[in-house]
Structure 1
């Protein structure tokens, strides 16, 4: 009997200890979004000395993020906002370690990491709406002969794609930025929701949107000029895109495979790739969209101490070819006035105009953020493929 009693007491003590160490508090929901678009974040870390909310998307946080306050139950909390409607990546810095929000199953991958994702309603274009037909975003895996390994992309198909089996569609190839991946446009970028709402309202034509992975290897800022890693990756992606991705899409999906029904657009690094691929293969695209980008180095920066015209000189014959311009329906630039690539964008627009391109260029408020890029897509997509 004593043995049984001691075993029972030991089991109870172990159980209490496990609960004290491992149990989450009952009331620690995170994130909570109020009707005023304020967001409350919480993380359970009773033994931590510090905790901070970090985000590259949430306005006003800055690089270091914002400090959180711990209550008597060991729950750290901070409230921010109001913030504009949209989607935002975030994480917690707990005693110097970056952790995700374990109370939130919504995440958004980047090119080498993953972040928690919070959606703030209140937008006509970014919110899912009851009664609005919804398309589908599918993960597509394929083997790249160019890179000799399996790769991934995401593809949006419009709401009627599966029911109108004889219909063919135009296609928009939509490229991500340097710190992102093929899932970014459909998570934090809300591309599928934006297209659903635009198509339902009649503002955009039903289209397929292809979101490939634009990195061909590990990406790091500040690579030495001798390595030339960035340009090598850009060339590798350009080859994969034209030799494999476009043929795969035009074989697997019901797309209209001609220039008038093929558009290419991207943000930041993806905008540079849009110019690289779009100009080098100008006869294959009817629409080009460049968000927060341009020809890197054309106005200095990105390893260039002074403006560089090498890109322009290497493509002078194409840039001056009037026949290639005839089928080009739209060249569209957009950038925020606080964007660090503003001079790059302006210099690129001037260069293209110097070679006879008709360019639409607009400058908005804001900087190099998804707050602008979602708006850019919502404005660019209705300009495509009109009868």
Structure 2
């Protein structure tokens, strides 16, 4: 009798779980066009469950999938050749995605395009509960300008984007501190203003008097010098010279072209992921140039072991904690709570080293975000409010 009762209970629990699972996956039909759609396009869409719905006309296709978050979702075709399909719920914030049509991955013609993952592709915004801090508001806005320059080090034309705050063109006697802000791997100099919304974040901070007016310079972290050697592997025939480009070409250009305060106490440098690795090395090699540092989802010990030896790491530049505390006005680190390996490990090992050396730093965790733009927007928001004060 007990066995029968036990079996009934198990069957009841399984039925309950199946019913709950089906209810959980049920699509709520309150989809709205994404805020990143091209003009007049109603797809892609997002619903209150944070699911993404995409649609495309492809009458001759045999199979179409929505590819987002590393997962491909099969789409359905109607009798007019229109394919439509939904993803599982996504994390809040910005996501790259694409459509896969008969094995070929292509951007969605309904969305705006962004440079990420090494290509121009589609992007979608899942509304976040705290999106007010990067929202477009009725406040005074700065200007993001495209600046083209010729680099002798790379023997090529390059560009950087420069944010100047509201009032820059009117108050011609005022000079400003400068933040050099770098993107991550497989992204470029457009990332911080397009995906990161750094200009809107700073506009809102300045308007609410939570940050000082400043200039932001966003350059391309991929800068190579072609070696005068015959290599069969093209990747081995190039040498990264971004640090030299920034120090010897970009900073002098910015100081000459814009009304900066050209001294270390008025310069900051920060970056995300690959950019955090780059900027940390640049900062420590040029403490005569920068006095503020911000690392978002990355450090110079990526990938890392569990232990960092301060006597050898970056040529021993972290050995003298007291000296660094006098030189660096702000050492700031940020990470999402859902970051994948090895980021928590590498940053954890780096923090341990800082604490062992008695080096002062600020640490921030972005709740419920991974290696993604909402993490970095939040990091920038926190970091920028502390600069140059």
Q: Does structure 2 retain, via aligned residues, the 8 Å contact 1:263–1:288?
A: yes
* 1:32-111 superposed matches below 5 A: 32-33=45-46, 39-55=52-68, 61=69, 63-80=70-87, 86-104=93-111, 106-110=112-116
Gaps of 5+ in 2: 1-39, 226-232
In the TM superposition, what are the counterparts of 1:7-46 in structure 2 within 5 Å?
Answer: 29-33=42-46, 39-46=52-59
**Pair 1:206-2:219 in alignment:** no
The aligned residue for residue 121 of structure 2 is: 115
How many pairs does the alignment contain?
Answer: 338
Q: 1:180 to 1:366 in 2, by over 3 A?
A: same
Q: SS in structure 2 opposite 1:250?
A: helix
2-structure distance, mates of 1:82, 1:203: 34
Task: State the secondary structure of the residue aligned to 1:352.
Answer: helix
Deviations 1:326-352 (A, max 9, x none): 131110111123322111111112223
Aligned position for 1:127: 135
1:377 Cα deviation after fit:
0.7
Q: Distance in 2 between matches of 1:148 and 1:309?
A: 38
What TM-score comes out, normalization by structure 2 length? 0.78
TM-score normalised over the length of structure 1 = 0.78
Per-residue deviation, 1:75: 1.5
**Residue pairs, 1:326-341, within 5 angstroms:** 326-339=326-339, 340=341, 341=343
Which ranges in structure 1 are unaligned for 5 or more consecutive residues? 1-26, 56-60, 219-225, 301-305
SS in 1 for 2:149: strand
Return the match for 2:377 from 374, 378, 382: 374
Question: How far apart are 1:150 and its partner, in Å?
Answer: 0.9
Tell me how far apart the structure 2 counterparts of residues 311 and 78 of structure 1 sit (CA, whole Å): 55
Q: Separation in 1 of the partners of 2:88 and 2:176?
A: 41
The answer (yes or no) to whether the contact 2:147–2:159 under 8 Å persists in 1 is: yes
Question: How many angstroms apart in 2 are the aligned matches of 1:314 and 1:187?
Answer: 33
- Structure 2 match to 1:273: 278
Using the alignment, how far apart are the partners of 1:98 and 1:133 within structure 2?
Answer: 40
The question of 1:191 aligning with 2:198 is answered: yes
SS at match of 2:331: strand
Alpha-carbon deviations, 1:98-140, whole Å to 9, x = none? 1112233x221137310123345562112212x2112121221
**Bigger shift: residues 119-128 or 336-345:** 119-128
Equivalent position SS for 1:115 = strand
Are the structure 2 counterparts of residues 272 and 312 from structure 1 closer, same or farther at C-alpha, using a change threshold of 3 Å?
farther
Cα 1:384–1:317 change in 2 (3 A) is: closer
1:50-96 CA-partner distances (Å, limit 9, x unpaired): 222223xxxxx4x1332222222212222457656643322211111
